[in-house]
Chains A and B, each alone.
Chain A
Amino acid sequence: ILNVEQSPQSLHVQEGDSTNFTCSFPSSNFYALHWYRWETAKSPEALFVMTLNGDEKKKGRISATLNTKEGYSYLYIKGSQPEDSATYLCAFIRVDSSYKLIFGSGTRLLVRP
């Protein structure tokens, strides 16, 4: 993998469902992975910054895991609520990239009441 790939592109779930999506990134020269939540017409909001293999981060009903050896991160949302509807972006930083964020295209989540 040369770029950051996120899957699925979009996801529709029912209120109360738990869901997860994937961010895949190059496993070599890893420095950090950032997750952002972006609601329509608002600013992207930082969720997590992950730097260590095996890292797990949690913020309320949202959690994330990181596997730097195989190059993926999962974002989980437990008991989705309509207010969780947003696009979730991940961004990868390589050691040799002047710490530039390389973004994926995002997973667009819609939670139906």
Chain B
Amino acid sequence: ETGVTQTPRHLVMGMTNKKSLKCEQHLGHNAMYWYKQSAKKPLELMFVYNFKEQTENNSVPSRFSPECPNSSHLFLHLHTLQPEDSALYLCASSQGVGGGVSDTQYFGPGTRLTVL
């Protein structure tokens, strides 16, 4: 276990539904991330939060809305998604956002999302 949990692990939703993905880290980290992995594509960064403040939005459509109420919790609110948004959504956390050894990212197991 990496100390990062995600719920639900699987989610099927219609295009008109609203749902949320939840991530929780038990590592005392200050930074949290959302990544997306579509079929046959590399992991792609979506959002970065550092000390609860969003520091990166990688040109993500507004139908994805992140929320970080505290350094341990991260949500991804989903509404009016498209079938092409079906993917594996991974959460990660790190001590800081510097990218070096001390800022190794620890990943959750992901939520497999299917949009019908």
Chain A interface (Cβ < 8 Å from any Cβ of B): 4, 31-32, 34, 36, 41-46, 49, 51, 89, 91, 93, 98-106
Contact = CB atoms under 8 A, between A and B. Distances in A.
B103 interface: yes
Q: Specify the main secondary structure of chain B where it touches its partner.
A: loop
B61 interface: no
Interface string B41-66: 11111001000000110100000000
A34 B100 CA distance: 9
B99 A42 contact: no
A87 B103 CA distance: 22
Contacts of A43: 1-2, 4, 90, 106-110
Contact of A42 (B41, B98, B100, B109): B109
B56 A46 contact: no
A99 B99 CA distance: 5
A36 B90 CA distance: 14
